[in-house]
């Protein structure tokens, strides 16, 4: 299986087709920042990852967004792909976004919790990410790229069409903060023809 090796000090300029977590998205084409269905505010950018050739038509990069509050806020209906509180944007070609989008270039970013002067505070995060192979697959869900999903609960692969698993994100980490319940794991799927994408999360 494959996962990511994170670097706290990212390079000065990212390759738009390289994986990264946090910071601002490196758009391949016109920005399409998704908006929360409940609040109308821009969602928080989580990460962007390359899409291998042929996995989802001509699409090259997937951008993952979630929620519109701070990193500790629980988002109602954020766990389901149809709830309007998460989104995966595919580029460079147009596709059916699951929520309304706007053309802003910057918005809320991934955060992590740190201790400062005896207080727990949230700070913005930008992490370079390198795809690496894992020799021995873990016996529990973890952040993973390609392969087969490791479900926390039952198989919840999207229906109605041909879907490909792209990645899963383990929220139980000190690298960043995502409120996906008790040690929640997020799952990203892309349509085989590149016309749609889905995100959902499960927890224990």
Structural domains present in the chain: 2-102+123-202 (2.30.320.10)
Residues of the chain with pLDDT > 90, as a percent, come to 68
Quick one: average pLDDT of 178-193? 94
pLDDT at residue number 186:
97
The beta strand positions in 29-177, using DSSP E, are 33-34, 44-50, 61-66, 86-91, 101-102, 111-116, 119-124, 126-133, 144-145, 163-170
- List, for residues 85-123, the tens digit of each pLDDT value: 999 999 999 888 989 999 999 999 999 888 888 888 889
pLDDT at residue number 11:
59
Question: Could you tell me the pLDDT band of residue 156, with boundaries at 50, 70 and 90?
Answer: very high
pLDDT at residue number 46:
96
pLDDT at residue number 12:
61
Residue 161: which residues within 8 A CB-CB, separation 6 or more?
191, 192, 196
pLDDT at residue number 66:
95
Quick one: average pLDDT of 158-165? 90
Model pTM score:
0.94
pLDDT at residue number 13:
67
Residues of the chain with pLDDT > 70, as a percent, come to 97
């Amino acid at each position: 299986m494959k996962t990511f090796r994170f670097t706290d000090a990212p390079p000065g300029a990212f390759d738009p087709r390289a994986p990264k977590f946090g910071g601002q998205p490196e758009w391949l084409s016109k920005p399409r920042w998704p908006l929360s269905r409940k609040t109308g505010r821009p969602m928080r950018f989580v990460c962007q990852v390359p899409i291998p050739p042929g996995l989802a038509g001509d699409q090259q990069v997937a951008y993952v967004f979630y929620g519109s509050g701070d990193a500790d806020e629980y988002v109602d209906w954020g766990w389901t792909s149809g709830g309007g509180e998460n989104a995966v944007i595919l580029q460079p070609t147009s596709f059916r976004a699951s929520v309304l989008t706007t053309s802003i270039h910057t918005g809320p970013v991934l955060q992590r919790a740190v201790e400062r002067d005896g207080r727990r505070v949230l700070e913005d995060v930008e992490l370079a990410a390198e795809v690496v192979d894992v020799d021995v697959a873990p016996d529990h869900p973890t952040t993973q790229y390609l392969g087969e999903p490791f479900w926390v609960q039952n198989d919840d692969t999207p229906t109605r069409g041909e879907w490909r698993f792209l990645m899963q994100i383990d929220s139980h980490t000190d690298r960043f903060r995502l409120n996906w319940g008790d040690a929640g794991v997020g799952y990203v799927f892309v349509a085989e023809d590149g016309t749609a994408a889905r995100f959902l999360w499960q927890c224990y």
